[in-house]
Amino acid sequence: MLHLKNGSNVAGKLKSCDEEQCFINSQRVPIDDIAIIELRHIAVPPAAKPRAVILNDGTIAKGNYVSLSLGEVDTDAGEIDRDDVALIVLQTIVAVPPPPPPPAQPAETPTKEGGTRGALWSGTIRARWWGTSGGVTTTVDVLVQVRLREYIFPWRAEERGGKVVGTFIRLRSENSVIDNTMRCKGEIACEGHGSVAITMREGDNNFPCIYSKERAGPTHPDVPVGKALYVIGVPPHGDSKYAVTYTTASGSSVSDTPFSSPMIGRQPSIAPGPLIDPYVRYIENGRMTGSYTAPAVGAFEHIAVSWMVCRDGVACPVAPPLP
């Protein structure tokens, strides 16, 4: 499997990789787009640097990655049997939620202005990523101060004539704030904290959304009449990072680390998995609220999330505790 820098994955039979590309399922993937080559699923050691080769027992092999074939992995220190290799780290990453699947578009193409401007949703999302690998325990605590603005479109049934059955609502972040605190302890210590304000930019395509169905008709996703399904979050921009200081017996270094921010809810057609909410979520009395745990990826084994986000004019209690 290839874990891409944009958070998506490409699964299948990996044939070969060189300094420019990988070939998987007869598909060419540029090497610059890849964060991790996964041959066997294990946690990424926190000490892994770009071009590190991770063996099946979690140790970091000598030398830097050069190429991969069906039988071996080449490094600048020699050849390694491919069956002995679990991961090849091409970019040092902290687990970041993958972008949500693009929502099914309404039959009417949204205008450049983005539909009819509606109410503001606000509240808090709390999350924690954690895991232990190679004698190092790493934790990232997340607090998101949510401000999501509605942009409303008619939602049409997927049938001839396409009658309007409800509303499709895109939610655009307006100065939401993501706060991250990262700590490591063990053979490597680390600590870092950062905050960033997120307002959706032109060209962003990770839209939180609401599908509100008011009358019967075939739709994707399939939402019960009278219900409003939601998928929300505040995706950080790729260039938003904060400084983390790593300390070992030999000294310390500072690394710029991408912000983490969870996604909540999913479409019924999307299977639960790493960093994905196990449940389909519906609005209740003007509130989005709940909690979940799920497996994570990269240096982390688990994620826990809780939230309370409410529409303008609705009383908004404190988010439930992390599960």
**What does the pLDDT look like over 162-214, one tens digit per residue?**
899 999 999 999 999 999 999 999 989 999 999 999 999 877 766 799 999 99
User: pLDDT band at 99, cuts 50/70/90?
Assistant: very low
Same domain membership, residue 169 and residue 51: no
Q: Count CB-CB contacts under 10 A for residue 278.
A: 11
Q: Is 116 helix (H, G, I), strand (E, B) or coil?
A: strand
Mean pLDDT in residue range 13-35: 88
**Residue at 254 is within a domain:** yes
Same domain membership, residue 134 and residue 80: no
Same domain membership, residue 127 and residue 77: no
**Residue at 40 is within a domain:** yes
**Residue at 150 is within a domain:** yes
**Residue at 174 is within a domain:** yes
Give me 307's structure tokens: 């939230």
- In single-letter form, the type of residue at position 105 comes to Q
**Residue at 316 is within a domain:** no
Mean pLDDT in residue range 88-100: 57
Residues 6+ apart with CB under 8 A from 112: none
Same domain membership, residue 132 and residue 33: no
CA distances from 213 to 10, 206, 210, 224 (A): 33, 22, 10, 7
Same domain membership, residue 125 and residue 20: no
Same domain membership, residue 198 and residue 273: yes
- Compute the mean pLDDT over every residue in the chain, rounded to the nearest whole number: 88
Q: Is the pTM of this model over 0.85?
A: no
Q: Is 215 exposed, middle or buried (0-12, 13-18, 19+ CB in 10 A)?
A: exposed
Same domain membership, residue 21 and residue 160: no
Residues 6+ apart with CB under 8 A from 251: none
pLDDT digits (tens, 9 = 90+) for 143-167: 999 999 999 999 999 887 789 999 9
Length of the chain: 323
**Residue at 98 is within a domain:** no
**Residue at 97 is within a domain:** no
Domain count, the chain: 2
Same domain membership, residue 82 and residue 135: no
Same domain membership, residue 248 and residue 142: yes
**Residue at 170 is within a domain:** yes
Same domain membership, residue 131 and residue 22: no
Q: Is 81 left (phi over 0), alpha (psi -120 to 50) or beta?
A: beta
Same domain membership, residue 148 and residue 73: no
Same domain membership, residue 284 and residue 248: yes
Q: Please tell me the least confidently modeled range out of 4-13, 139-148, 213-222, 303-312.
A: 4-13
| 137: containing domain | 116-311
